[in-house]
Amino acid sequence: MSIKTEEMVLNMGPQHPSTHGVFRLKLHVNGETITKAEPVMGYLHRGSEKLAENFIYTQFIPYTDRLDYLNAMTNNYIYCAGVEKLLDWEIPERAEYLRVITMELNRIASHLVWWGTYLLDIGALSPFLYAFRDRDICLDRLNEISGARMTFNYMRIGGVKWDAPDGWIEKVKESVKELRENIAEYDRLVTGNEIFRARTIGVGKLTKDQVINWGLSGPIARGSGVNVDLRKTEPYSIYDRFDFDVPTREEGDVFARYKVRIAEMHESLKIIEQACEQIPSEGDIIHKKGARIMMIKPPAGEAYTRAEASKGEIGVYVVSNAKTKPYRVKLRRPSFVNVSILQDMLVGENIQNLVAIFGSLDVVLGEVDA
């Protein structure tokens, strides 16, 4: 005897603990199988791009913090780099190193938040506590240099805001050692867990073609065997000076994305370590003009600049008309593009796998909604 079922519409969100923000998924389900998924977003839309047009260039930097608030340093960087490209300024050596160290520390913090909350979503509570303990190590270092825990506002057009306090570099070196041990411990704690493996291996598969066609980037792309990391393929800042690998995996499932992120944290630690060795002990931290001029006037022109954030490719398209305010700022937010795959990959999936798949995309809603 077969049971007759009929399609029903199920709303996940806008308030749902595993979306980590305000996001709604309109699901059409037949029994326990998803037949159609429709993401609904915009609850957190603040009109960042419109705001940018009404500010002078430097005033917009704090607003970039609020996009992907877990990885604010790269957002700061990409906006400043976009304007610097138009200005054609050279950034002092020491500033570049400080930028790299802070960006990589922030990447680890961001991946740790993902690691903790993702495991929380699929039912493991204690990893969350471990992850936040270690994330605080990163945030403490960032707090010491920038004065804020999450919304740093640390980068400036032409350099960085403040120099590292005395002994900061040594502290970072110690933190790296501590983090390296702890992250290896996570691997032992969770990765071999039978339940965790059963829930993630073979779930939420993405093929290479899917990844490229849908414009996905970051750990999601690398988990499906697409070897794209802008730090390597298109080295910005001073990333060409460091020796690090780009972890990729071929499987394309949730577990592969998990492994890529864990490996990436180790690579970030490597970069920080090398940067701490190479950093010049003194020097300017901001371009001469950047330190003096508040009203920056880039020459007329437009440029698209991109960088590798913890979620994927972050880009900024700045159009200048040689005035003090930008004519147009477009922010290419990785989460916004990555989340679009849901409507394709959830079809035919079992409803129990939904949270495991959604969580593995590492979406931050502040970034989706801009």
Tell me which residues touch other proteins (CB under 8 A).
41-42, 45, 47, 49-50, 53, 85, 212-216, 226, 228, 233, 299-304, 306, 313, 315, 317, 319, 327-328, 330, 332, 336-337, 339-340, 344, 369-370
Q: 78 or 138, CB closer to other proteins?
A: 78
Q: ∠ CA 331-332-334 to the nearest 5 degrees?
A: 130
Q: 151 or 321, CB closer to other proteins?
A: 321
CB 308 within 8 A of CB 78: no
3-class SS of residue 57: helix
Residue (of 34, 22, 9) closest to 346 by Cα position: 34
Q: 233 or 278, CB closer to other proteins?
A: 233
Q: How far is the CB of 317 from other proteins (least distance, A)?
A: 6
Q: How far is the CB of 141 from other proteins (least distance, A)?
A: 32
Q: How far is the CB of 217 from other proteins (least distance, A)?
A: 8
Q: How far is the CB of 297 from other proteins (least distance, A)?
A: 12
Distances (CA, A) of 168 to 98, 146, 171: 11, 12, 5
How many beta carbons lie within 10 A of that of residue 192, not counting itself?
9
Q: 254 or 318, CB closer to other proteins?
A: 318
Q: 261 or 306, CB closer to other proteins?
A: 306
Q: How far is the CB of 75 from other proteins (least distance, A)?
A: 15
* Angle subtended by helix axes 72-87 and 93-121, to nearest 10: 150
Rounded-to-integer distance, Cα 251 and Cα 258, Å? 11
Consecutive H or E run containing 161: none
